[in-house]
Amino acid sequence: MDDGAIALKEAARAKAYSMPLEDIRVADPELFRTDTHWPYFERLRKEDPVHYAADDGDIGPYWSITKYNDIMDVDTNHQVFSSERGITIRDAPEDFQMPMFIAMDPPKHDAQRKVVSPIVSPANLAQMEGLIRSRAGKILDELPIGETFDWVDRVSIELTTQMLATLFDFPFEERRKLTFWSDIATSAPGTDFCPTVEYRREKLRECLNTFIGLWNERVNAEPKGDLISMLAHGEATRNMEPMEYLGNVILLIVGGNDTTRNSISGSIMALNQNPDQYQKLRDHPELLPSMVSETIRWQTPLAHMRRTALEDIEFRGKQIRKGDKVIMWYVSGNRDDEVIANPDAYVIDRERPRHHLSFGFGIHRCVGNRLAEMQLRVVWEEILKRYPVIEVMDEPRRVASAFIKGYEYLPVRIPG
């Protein structure tokens, strides 16, 4: 970290602890872009773990749940805390709704989830491992030596996009379209990448048209093991309206893409910030599975999930009202020192490395968690075979989002 970054963090800490509690707004994307959200969450965990933020501009008021066990309690109580009105802090626009099963309650949620779950059956995962390994090897072998390049684009995006193309049996040469749609779906309009609301909708309609073409091919063929064929033949999904098909496609693209991508980039960041752990990994490659879980905890690629209260409920002494937005801040729960020892440290040989919130809990627990872990493990097995050191050359550029917690750009160098 350079002097500027250290000064920024010190200023954030001073501000987080001096402002009135009721003024804290942890959902500000700028806090995530600058990586200065930590002291705000630390203060909330200590002083006001179930925190109410009164009206916050276009987001509206929301509750922040910041401690590990409280998050578990909300996540596993879908009878009271519903996903039906959206799972991100921002509401989707009324005139462009994309229903998807992550944002549904039972029984529809359960039926649709069941349709796609076989994609990550142990047998399927075992079959995919060899493919992931050969692709990871090829991507790594083509990296430049002795010069700075962007790890996000060359490795994290490329590897996860290739995987997605396989899961959908999407035309391989056009796979970067999947990355583009994933990015456009999670972007807030008003940037160079996504200038207007209309532009975003137009691109998502293009995505839908492409996927309708693939649906039409598969619906008339024998059922196969790819996600589109599963949706086209599944009892709970074969009669979906087009926007619901788009919603579920976007769920699977974003689920399988951004999260794993940012974990791969996060592993490089974490090991560079903790050279003793990097050395431990080189000395003990058998620690890779636990290093993978620790990275996913440390990174927390999805900073939050949102629920909406279906009834008035008293929760840890606070009165939550029917219709209130309730935000489970996984990023904060993963740093709760009452549950995880020394939680700010990155330790690749923790006793219970899978004891974290990054995949959620309850009926919506991540479908792809084993696939994501396997991808990370395999890519690191291949990295360690080839390159003992991958050096971060400068501060990364982080995503300005309170939902996707990750990196747009990460300059690295493999020493000659």
- Contact positions toward ligand HEM, by CB under 6 A? 75, 101-102, 113, 251-252, 255-256, 259-260, 263, 296, 301-302, 305, 358-362, 364-368, 371-372
- Is residue 150 classed as helix, strand or coil in its secondary structure? strand
Which residue, 24 or 102, has its beta carbon nearer to ligand HEM?
102
Distance CA 138, CA 348 (A): 27
Distance CA 129, CA 157 (A): 18
Which residue, 268 or 414, has its beta carbon nearer to ligand HEM?
268
Contact 94, 243 (CB under 8 A): no
Two tokens at 266?
Answer: 């996060």
Least Å distance, CB 66 to ligand HEM, is: 16
Least Å distance, CB 163 to ligand HEM, is: 8
Q: How far apart are the first and last CA of the chain?
A: 24
Contact 199, 189 (CB under 8 A): yes
Which residue, 97 or 196, has its beta carbon nearer to ligand HEM?
97
**Contacts from 354-357 at CB under 8 Å and sequence distance 24+?**
354/293, 356/293, 356/296, 356/297, 356/300, 357/68, 357/71, 357/72, 357/297, 357/300, 357/328, 357/330, 357/333
Which residue, 24 or 340, has its beta carbon nearer to ligand HEM?
340
Least Å distance, CB 394 to ligand HEM, is: 25
Distance CA 45, CA 373 (A): 29
Distance CA 24, CA 7 (A): 21
Which residue, 315 or 359, has its beta carbon nearer to ligand HEM?
359
Least Å distance, CB 101 to ligand HEM, is: 5
Distance CA 117, CA 252 (A): 11
Which residue, 218 or 304, has its beta carbon nearer to ligand HEM?
304
Least Å distance, CB 327 to ligand HEM, is: 12
Picking from 130, 137, 133, the residue whose alpha carbon sits closest to that of residue 387 is 137
Least Å distance, CB 201 to ligand HEM, is: 23
Which residue, 87 or 208, has its beta carbon nearer to ligand HEM?
87
Which residue, 106 or 190, has its beta carbon nearer to ligand HEM?
106
Distance CA 328, CA 75 (A): 8
Least Å distance, CB 411 to ligand HEM, is: 23
CB neighbour list of residue 333: distance below 8 Å, 6 or more residues apart:
65, 66, 67, 68, 70, 71, 72, 339, 357
Q: What is the DSSP letter of 333?
A: H
Scanning the structure block, which residue is given the tokens 């549904």? 104
Picking from 305, 327, 306, the residue whose alpha carbon sits closest to that of residue 52 is 327
Least Å distance, CB 190 to ligand HEM, is: 26
Which residue, 234 or 255, has its beta carbon nearer to ligand HEM?
255
Least Å distance, CB 168 to ligand HEM, is: 10
Least Å distance, CB 300 to ligand HEM, is: 7
Distance CA 333, CA 328 (A): 8
Least Å distance, CB 277 to ligand HEM, is: 19
Contact 47, 15 (CB under 8 A): no
Which residue, 204 or 372, has its beta carbon nearer to ligand HEM?
372
Which residue, 13 or 114, has its beta carbon nearer to ligand HEM?
114
Two tokens at 97?
Answer: 């709704």
